[in-house]
Amino acid sequence: MDELNTWKKAAKIAGEALEFGAGLIKENVLLIDVTKKIEDFILSKNAKAGFPVQISINSIAAHYTSYPGDETRFKVGDLVKLDLGAHIDGYIGDTAKTIEIKTNNNKDLIKASEEALNAAIETVKPGVQLKKIGKVVNDVIESYGFVSIKNLSGHTVERYSLHAGLSIPNYDNGDNTTLKENQVIAIEPFASTGSGFIKEGKPSTNYRLVRLKNVRDSSTREVLGYIAEEIKTVPFSKRQLCEKFSPFKVNLALRNLEKEGLIDCYPQLPEKKDGSFVSQKEHTILVKEEPIILTKV
């Protein structure tokens, strides 16, 4: 199977997993149960998670991942961002949508990020400047009376690299860099009722391997070997490791690997303005004169 076909297959699985997962998000359901069912769905399609399933609620824009023993449940009125990925041999599809539980208070906010994504995709072609995509996103979101989150962005995607260099802005940031044919990009508008900026929050238990070197501690060496061999450089979660190793061994290894600078840790990303609501919509796209939405089902 050639590279493009592999990418298409992985992205299609991601899109299917998103629809499957969205159907599980209901009042009083545990977030961790939804996470595990999505992971099992992806595995059943002969793919792997492209990154830990993220289920971010209300003012949290991104990077909430269920941790071992997480007892968080969905509540009526929650605005839920489901963001997930699937990969085959390192070719990643990344996609997201927003679900509101039982109420309809944020239907325009959800629509703002959806329509911003649709409008942005229409601009995608070789030679288009990144700032133009950002302007389109921002203009649509502001037309609904909301603000785009300026310090979150889309990104290029490469094999085993989810955030591969270029940032696809959600406003006109003045970036004259142009898209090139056959690049794979993820565009992900975030619409907010708040300030339009996120801050660093609590740890998310999301990590990524950034470099390798020998480590002295045998337990840490064992966990590092598993990450390097089985997960490679796609993001992973503490819960994922705890399914393979004891919590003690995982906690020790993560502390040591962070101290040695071998892994990066991602924080949760709440809106700066407390009490805000944030919506998100995302697709992975192949840049062509007529762009191909890889994660569309």
Is 94 part of the annotated catalytic residue set?
yes
Q: Which of 63, 87, 155, 283 is catalytic?
A: 155
Q: Distance between CA 297 and CA 288 in Å, rounded?
A: 19
Q: Which of 83, 100, 114, 115 is catalytic?
A: 83
Is 3 part of the annotated catalytic residue set?
no
Q: Which of 163, 172, 217, 264 is catalytic?
A: 163
Whole-angstrom Cα Rg for the chain? 19
H/E/C letters for each residue in the chain? CCHHHHHHHHHHHHHHHHHHHHCCCCCCCEHHHHHHHHHHHHHHCCCEEEEEEEEEECCEEECCCCCCCCCCECCCCCEEEEEEEEEECCEEEEEEEEEECCCCCCHHHHHHHHHHHHHHHHHCCCCCEHHHHHHHHHHHHHHCCCEECCCCCEEECECCECCCCCEECCCCCCCCCECCCCCEEEECCEEECCCCCECCCCEEEEEEECCCCCCCCHHHHHHHHHHHHHHCCCCEEHHHHHCCCCHHHHHHHHHHHHHCCCEEEEECEEECCCCCCEEECEEEEECCCCCEECCCC
Q: Which of 39, 78, 114, 188 is catalytic?
A: 188
Contact at 8 Å (CB) between 209 and 285?
A: no
Q: Which of 39, 94, 100, 114 is catalytic?
A: 94
| Closest residue by Cα to residue 284 from 63, 144, 109, 92 | 92
- Helices 247-259 and 218-226, axial angle in degrees (round to 10): 90
Is 70 part of the annotated catalytic residue set?
no
Report CA dihedral (126, 129, 130, 134) to the nearest 10 degrees: -120
Q: Which of 87, 100, 282, 283 is catalytic?
A: 282
Is 39 part of the annotated catalytic residue set?
no
Residue numbers annotated as active site: 83, 94, 155, 163, 188, 282
